[in-house]
Structure 1
Amino acid sequence: MALGVNIWSPPTAEAAHDYYQFSVENPVEKILDLYASEENGGVLNSDNKAKEITGRIVEAIQNRASFSMIRMGDGEGNCLFDFDQYPTLKSYILDRISYMHFGEGSIVPAHDEEFLRMMIQAIDSSDVIGVPERDAVAKGFKTVDDDLDVRAVVGNRTAALKVAARVGLQTTASAWTNRQLLPHYEEILTGRDAVGVISSHPKLGDLMKKRFGIGKVVEHLIPRQAVFLKTSDRKDSGHFPDVFRDIVDSISPTPGMPYLVSGGLLAKHYCHVIKSRGGVAIDAGSVPEIWLNIPNRGLSQDFLDRWKLV
């Protein structure tokens, strides 16, 4: 058996050795005990809290208050990986997540401290944090070595570890909260004077404006994540740092203005900036693709047909 041999771009022998050492130091019991259950008082809860979160978002909008809902999944966990005693594992996962997001493997490793800082800042300033679901984390410990996606499982475990270490008054929920909110976006968005959108889809703003009766949609367009492009089209997207800096400079919400943010790793910092400037940030992830009926992320056509807006 070879670690990750059935997965795209498996780790080197050195990175695999680091992974096994990381797993010894962070065994299944340690990670799963971070989650609240009848057996322990863990600080994480990855349940579906969509209805509660909807109420808090709507309240913030109505009160013209600031708010941020972010999601810390495997990719964000990769950026939070600051265990420098495992250098080859760190290099491996940062290179992979960088290529997946930006089409170039060197971007995140070259700016690893900045990405780490942005993730921590987003956690600390958030009101709701989506975390990897407990069952998904447990599954990663049961997967046979040949089929193990080392980048993803290390990311999930690290996300759980780092959020648990920093969570205070924030509500924790599922990392899939963005999709669990699909029945509730109408309540959140309908009739709003202005809504902001950060996404890679130029047709999204008009669609939302018509569907939800929004007065004005303020759009910030970003490059699409490389992982959703054909392999031949994957190259440095320019999202970071150039487009990223421009987007940050352009974010200017009115008090309590809702923003849907679909920006991958950088969505976390965008959400932080939106809240710091008085807006209501929602880390929407794949929701724009769902609304636009764009197949990806393993979603079935039945699921897309249920929630698409086109």
Structure 2
Amino acid sequence: MANIVFDEGDREYARNIIKEFLETFELASFKNKCADHGVKILYRNAVELGCLTGLIVERIYSRTPFSMLRAGDGEGNVLSLALPGSRPERDMKWLNSVFQMMDGQTISTADGKRIASSMANAFDNADVIGTRLFRHGDENGVYDETKWFLDVLSKGETRGPVGALKAIQFVESLIDDNNNNKDESRILTSAWVHLYFIEQLDTFIKYAEKVIVISGRTELADKFATRYVAKNIEFVGIPLQASDFNTGGRIPHYPRRYNETISKIQENARGALVLVGAGIFGKMYCDIAKRSGGIALDMGSAFDLLAGAATRPIHERIDIKNIKWI
């Protein structure tokens, strides 16, 4: 299948909306808005990340339904179809670009709208949302996402920066939708917090009665079983992300395996810790798990690292030898 091609009109659109964002968005104002609505922000240091870890442990121990999702550029490419003013004839191109990267295929506008709506509902129902605006461990709050926008735009890329922008706009819209109401159950953190949670897996699983792992890294199934031999571990294998699949014969994730995985979650998630690494599909899996009585964490590419595979630019900052299981 041919790759999605972005023309000069697409690139101009990307430049214009990002230029407007960079000229008008202020992180300090965003943080103030969060404070006004009672939304907590936890990401900067060991104390804040410890509070977040403690909250998750409490939910696992008490079997209280919970979900933590992360909104990156891929999610933003999908969520663009759920934002006010969306134009399907334009935004489906962004959605299908990430769908092709994730699953090696493009989908219809009708399917795209259903996926975008399901993802929007998943984020709206989430207890914790990770955003690219924050980088975990950024003690002094000096991380500046605008530099990344400018860098990738200068290289001619469009999908990534447009998706990252749409993800930020969607998260902000969730806060705006509360009007003047407090939303003290909502927490924002870093979109890369899943990398911090690698070191917390033993603690999370210690307090879990049952664990469901959903990942395309099926080579980890035996590792989970032997590392946590005393635990009830169910490993649900899914197709590996298409862009990370180097051999032929990959089975598409959507729609058959997607629907099958949802059914398994609905049947088994109650009271379980559900660890999900499934790209854009993982957001809906986490939401279904929470609605089915589970405690769901969007672990994303953390499973790649455990399998010894550095698949994301952020992984270059990590000493993979110290954390891989394989």
CA distance in structure 2 between the partners assigned to 1:122 and 1:276 by the alignment: 10
CA distance in structure 1 between the partners assigned to 2:195 and 2:129 by the alignment: 14
Aligned partner letter, 2:64: A
Aligned partner letter, 1:29: T
What is the 5 A alignment of 1:54-73?
A: 54-73=53-72
CA distance in structure 2 between the partners assigned to 1:59 and 1:208 by the alignment: 22
CA distance in structure 2 between the partners assigned to 1:114 and 1:121 by the alignment: 11
Choose which of 280, 297, 305 in structure 1 pairs with 2:312. Answer: 297
Q: Which moved more, 1:27-36 or 1:167-176?
A: 27-36
Counterpart contact for 1:31–1:161, Cα < 8 Å: no
Deviation at 1:250, TM superposition (A): 1.1
User: 1:196 aligns to what?
Assistant: 212
Deviation at 1:212, TM superposition (A): 3.2
Answering whether residue 94 of structure 2 is matched by residue 90 of structure 1, we say no
Choose which of 173, 191, 199 in structure 2 pairs with 1:183. Answer: 199
User: 2:13 aligns to what?
Assistant: 18
Instruction: Specify whether residues 88 and 31 from structure 1 end up closer, same or farther in structure 2 by C-alpha distance, changes over 3 A only.
Output: farther
Q: Any idea what the Cα deviations from partners look like across 1:8-60, whole Å, max 9, x if unmatched?
A: 9762012123223423553443264663279x979684734432221111111
Q: Any idea what the Cα deviations from partners look like across 1:119-168, whole Å, max 9, x if unmatched?
A: 11111111100111354531244327441421111111111111111144
Counterpart contact for 1:193–1:214, Cα < 8 Å: no
User: 1:157 aligns to what?
Assistant: 165
Aligned partner letter, 1:64: R
User: 1:238 aligns to what?
Assistant: 252
Counterpart contact for 1:123–1:129, Cα < 8 Å: yes
Aligned partner letter, 1:77: G
CA distance in structure 1 between the partners assigned to 2:61 and 2:224 by the alignment: 20
What is the 5 A alignment of 1:108-119?
A: 109=109, 111-119=111-119
SS of residue paired to 2:198: coil
Instruction: Specify whether residues 160 and 296 from structure 1 end up closer, same or farther in structure 2 by C-alpha distance, changes over 3 A only.
Output: same
What is the 5 A alignment of 1:203-282?
A: 203-230=219-246, 233=248, 237-251=251-265, 252-253=267-268, 255-282=270-297
CA distance in structure 2 between the partners assigned to 1:160 and 1:267 by the alignment: 19
Aligned length, in residue pairs: 299
User: 2:107 aligns to what?
Assistant: 107
CA distance in structure 1 between the partners assigned to 2:258 and 2:245 by the alignment: 20
SS of residue paired to 1:173: strand
Q: Any idea what the Cα deviations from partners look like across 1:169-203, whole Å, max 9, x if unmatched?
A: 31000000110112211111136442101111223
Counterpart contact for 1:68–1:275, Cα < 8 Å: yes
Counterpart contact for 1:178–1:285, Cα < 8 Å: yes
Counterpart contact for 2:216–2:237, Cα < 8 Å: yes
SS of residue paired to 1:65: coil
Aligned partner letter, 2:117: R
Answering whether residue 32 of structure 2 is matched by residue 47 of structure 1, we say no
Answering whether residue 299 of structure 2 is matched by residue 284 of structure 1, we say yes
Counterpart contact for 2:59–2:295, Cα < 8 Å: yes
Aligned partner letter, 2:98: I
Q: Which moved more, 1:27-36 or 1:166-175?
A: 27-36
Counterpart contact for 2:214–2:237, Cα < 8 Å: yes
Counterpart contact for 2:73–2:167, Cα < 8 Å: yes
User: 1:172 aligns to what?
Assistant: 188
CA distance in structure 1 between the partners assigned to 2:318 and 2:80 by the alignment: 36
Name the % identity: 25
SS of residue paired to 1:36: helix
Instruction: Specify whether residues 250 and 144 from structure 1 end up closer, same or farther in structure 2 by C-alpha distance, changes over 3 A only.
Output: closer
CA distance in structure 2 between the partners assigned to 1:102 and 1:34 by the alignment: 37
TM-score by length of 1: 0.85
User: 1:130 aligns to what?
Assistant: 130
Choose which of 150, 174, 193 in structure 2 pairs with 1:142. Answer: 150
Aligned partner letter, 1:308: K
User: 2:139 aligns to what?
Assistant: none
Deviation at 1:308, TM superposition (A): 1.3
TM-score by length of 2: 0.81
